[in-house]
Amino acid sequence: MTVGIQGLCPDRFARVRETFEANFADGGELGARFAFAIEGEIVVDLMGGFADRKREVPFGPDTLTALFSTTKAVAALMVARLVDEGRLAYDQPVADVWPEFAQAGKEAVTVEQALSHQAGLSGFPNETDPAIWFDWDATCAKLAAMAPLFPIGSASGYHPVTYGYLAGEIFRRVDGRTMGTALREDICQPLGLDLWIGLPDSEHGRVADLMRPTAMPQFGEINAAVEAAFFKPWSSPGGKGAAEWRRVEIPSANGHATAPALARLMGALANGGTLDGRSLITPAGIKAATAERLRGRDLVLPYEISWGAGFMRNEPNFYYGPTPEAFGHSGWGGSCAFADTTRGVSGAYVMNKQGNALIGDPRAVRLIEAAYASL
């Protein structure tokens, strides 16, 4: 037995427990949690290690972790619900609901292009105050005025932070609420999901400390889109403290959750859109959200990626198990969440010791493979 592994793991899933323990045994974890659901019901929920860098606070059932880009799967679902309700269409121009967005040649950019990282807005190329990310309206105004960094629709060029403002402002223009507010009111409170975009001060004490990666990710060729996305001093939020970062809503980057909450939410997508008898989205809505928008070598992430409307499709990388139709999203440092409509299963992995894989962290891949092998 390794460092305080606890939780739910029936004998059938012994291989998952062995894999989870091995991730700790080789020094790959500080604290972590993995949840796996069948038809939306959690069947595996393992946690262990520590929530703090001093190794004094156990990583427990109430520990929240920062999701980074795994948050994008939640944002994609929130937009998908608007489309499913007939309040928005993937093929309509963003400028239909956000008129200011039509500047600088972006009048024809569609909702699905914005969600599948084809809008050429991977980051701000010119000097910007990194505190701008804490000002929603200022960030959206700057994006609306910005000229694309590559030809719209020519390829995907991953939008690590800007995606959240694009998806979130599209959502706000249609719904009237911020995405984090709607998530809380419409989904998380009714279903009891410990998942947040914009974390209230009352919950900050539960958040696990992060251990940053010890090595930089490998980006391959550095182009203008990569530089704006990751390598400028203003590429990510700065100038304010951790509390302010947790508090603000950034639907691309700063979700906080437990693994079971994520696995259950994705469980709705794996099982026709229903969770605990409550319909979140129709099967047709899931199919529309996860249909391939484009596939190819991404201009920012050094991978071939098949994009749905905000979801990473499992082919061709198979980071989310063996099923081609599975989909989800991964986050900086290693977190991920996925759904598999073919098998009716879903899962999530969260941790606080960050690896340097941009997507497809080996710790998560091993756990997901072990879970599938146990079915």
Enzyme catalytic residues: 69
Residues 6 or more apart whose CB falls under 8 angstroms from that of 340 comprise 270, 320, 321, 323, 325, 326, 346
| DSSP assignments along 126-146, one per residue | S---GGGGG-HHHHHHHHHHP
Contact status, residue 64 vs residue 199, Cβ threshold 8 Å: yes
Contact status, residue 257 vs residue 67, Cβ threshold 8 Å: yes
Contact status, residue 44 vs residue 371, Cβ threshold 8 Å: yes
Nearest residue to 295 via CA among 303, 286, 287, 304: 304
Nearest residue to 68 via CA among 292, 230, 239: 230
Contact status, residue 121 vs residue 159, Cβ threshold 8 Å: yes
Cα–Cα dist 219/221, whole Å: 6
Cα–Cα dist 89/73, whole Å: 18
